[in-house]
Chain A
Amino acid sequence: MLSIFITFFLFLGGYVYAASVHASKTLVFYDERLDQLDSFSNFLSDLKDREYELDYYSANSTADIELFEGENRLYDNLIVLPVKGKHINKLVSDKTLLQFYNDGGDILSVTSPSAVPDSIRLFLNQLGIFPSPKGYELVDNVQGSLKIDSSDFRDSRICAAKYASSITLNGASSALLDNREQIFPILAAPRTSYTKATGKDSWSVGSQGFLATAFQNLKNARVAWLGSVDFLKDEFYGNNGNFVQEIAKWVFQEKNVIKSVDASHFHVDGTSYDEVPYKIKDAVIYEVGFSEWNGEKWVPFITDDVQFELRMLDPYYRLTLKPGRQKDEIQYYTTGEFRLPDHHGVFTFETDYKRDGFSFAVQRDVRPIRNLAHSEYARSWDISNAAVYLSSIFSVIFAWVIFIIFFITASPVVNKPMNTNKKNN
């Protein structure tokens, strides 16, 4: 009976739909003086449909905002909608945001030309995202209004291009981006646009500015920044809904989440390192498995750019792995047979899979590779140069034995006693 109950609850637990790879407790931080929550109802209800547990905090609230309890993070995700006023800097400082982010929390930040709080801006600045300050607005006098073209979309593998072409915005701010590999630009500003502020120079001109961008740290925590609250508003949700949901799925770890598992290396005959430690020039095989979270379960991750490195300070090998066997939710990739270098030392067997828009998957194993023992070098009979010396040695041995035999068996020189008697005749 107990086993039936356990089975039933396990089944129920597995059936519960949770889209994100981690828990989905989310705090929505908003300012009702700017936008009522009702104006984001479509966006928020889409999140709820995917089992997000949403808490709300209004910037006008007198209660303190708590992101941590002691050292424990209270929320998995944070949505920061445009907030006006300086008191937000006290409520949620850039240091708190950074602490939340470094602890693995994911953040979706939305600013608008009239609401770019300092704490949000400073936090984004530390990631290399520089949104235009308050008062700057992106305008496009050539097209008359902000019209996003498919050419403005940057292929970051976060969002499909088809969702970007229909975007409609009323007002937006743009951001300049640092030249960092962890920043994934998503949507550039139109070529003919520029950011305008009364009495000030432009913040960005043309496509050097960005309307949406993303960042992922080395712990795989994600940040996405949107330059307009119109992305989320019900008013434009028909056009922008798919795009913003794709961004939300990415930033809250519903998509492009991969993991590497079962990294192993062994001799070509299948013998493990523990059984026979590696020596230089040994033929070995390395393989590693990859899985991807598809929003419901782990599935094999199919790609063609997984690379393996064998390093001792610098890489001795960097090999693109070939797809191998597939087992359950794991796709294995293998180097095939390769020979260890002819240098001994402590080497790292490593796959460091870091690609735009995907979570970073790293596998490392440090193993010593020994030099040859004195008895493992090539023997003289394997070396052609030695053949003459060997044949000479054995010839001398042969000749010496033959000489002894011949010497002993040769006709002895017998010194027979001479007849010393005098003749008496």
Chain B
Amino acid sequence: MKLLKALGLLALTSLGQALTIKDAHFTFPETDARGIMMGSIDYETKKLNQPLTLQSLDQTIELNFASDSRLTQATVLLGLPDQKLEQAIQATLTEKQGLLLYRAKIPINQLSQHLLHLAVNEKQLLTGSLVVSKENEGFLVPLFDVKLEVNETEFEYVKPKRLEAKPEIHHVFSAEPKTVPWSFAQIFSFLVVLVTFGLVVTWMSAGAITWDGLPRGFDTIFFLAFVGSVIGFEFIFIRYYIGDSIFDTLKYTFLLSIPSLLLGTHFLRNWGKELR
């Protein structure tokens, strides 16, 4: 019984292997490229050594073959089987003088965008496999590779939306305003301070400062009050610059202005008399 089963299986296998197609050849319509003859194809046929190289996406590959009997399936699978990515192109049947002629037309520009992206932009070889079958027999055989030597700019791939993590985005902040280095600014500040001290020193060395007119006695108090009020006003303005509100500034200015006017006027009147 087991022997019978084994014989049956062997017979089925040999039947599957018996399916052969003939006169298989590739043509490249509307180009000067020569066709490639493959002859008979069965499940043992080896893939072409060289890939079919195309320079344009507008080219078409045609696989033509003949069969003695009508096939239930005649399909070219083109793509990347390792990546589970294949496109099926069914062959059309023409009967001519009793011959069954099959033709699978592969217009490259009608392949799926993903396949074209992998072939053009990532330079991957597409594998073409032929699946033929009759009732209860058939085979799948890798027949050829396709290489697309096409400029990447000729094909733009828009990846379809998928539920996956997207590339990270980081906000690019506006550039900070350009400023001079602190050391550079400090040199100039130092020069300004130096010039100011130079001015004072010049006044002193020119004999402009004698302290001869320094008020004496009771006038010293009015003198200090006058100078103090001038310094006080400067202090209020500096505080305003640092952050005091305008209302505080006005208030303090008003408060200081009262003693400043009284004491200043008194001092200047006395000082004027003395000068006379």
Contacts and interface: CB of A to CB of B under 8 A. Distances in A.
Interface string B74-101: 0101000100101110100000000000
A392 B195 CA distance: 10
Interface string A145-162: 000000100100000000
**Nearest 5 CB-CB pairings of A with B:** A141-B133, A411-B212, A391-B189, A205-B88, A387-B185
B186 A404 contact: no
Contacts of A100: none
Contact of A194 (B73, B164, B215, B223): B73
B122 interface: no
A332 B128 CA distance: 49
Interface of B: 12, 16, 72-73, 75, 77, 81, 84, 86-88, 90, 129, 131, 133-140, 160-171, 173-174, 179-182, 184-186, 188-190, 192-193, 195-196, 199-200, 203, 208-215, 223, 226-227, 230-231, 234, 238, 243, 271, 274-276
28 contacts: A142-B73, A142-B139, A142-B140, A207-B84, A208-B88, A281-B173, A305-B164, A307-B168, A318-B166, A318-B168, A319-B169, A319-B170, A339-B173, A342-B171, A375-B243, A387-B185, A388-B192, A392-B192, A399-B200, A406-B203, A406-B209, A408-B215, A408-B227, A410-B208, A411-B210, A411-B213, A412-B212, A412-B274
Contacts of A420: none
A354 interface: yes
A413 B173 CA distance: 65
Contact of B169 (A208, A305, A317, A383): A317
Interface string A271-287: 00000000001000000
A5 interface: no
A317 B180 CA distance: 32
B171 A144 contact: no
Interface in A269-327: 281, 305, 307, 309-310, 315-320
B140 A191 contact: yes
User: In terms of DSSP, what is the predominant structure of the interface of chain B?
Assistant: mixed
Nearest to B231: A401
Interface in A408-425: 408-415
Nearest to B223: A408
A296 to B, nearest CB: 26
Interface residues of A, number: 64
B72 A404 contact: no
A132 B161 CA distance: 26
Nearest to A380: B241
Contact of A141 (B135, B226, B275): B135
A126 interface: no
Contacts of A62: none
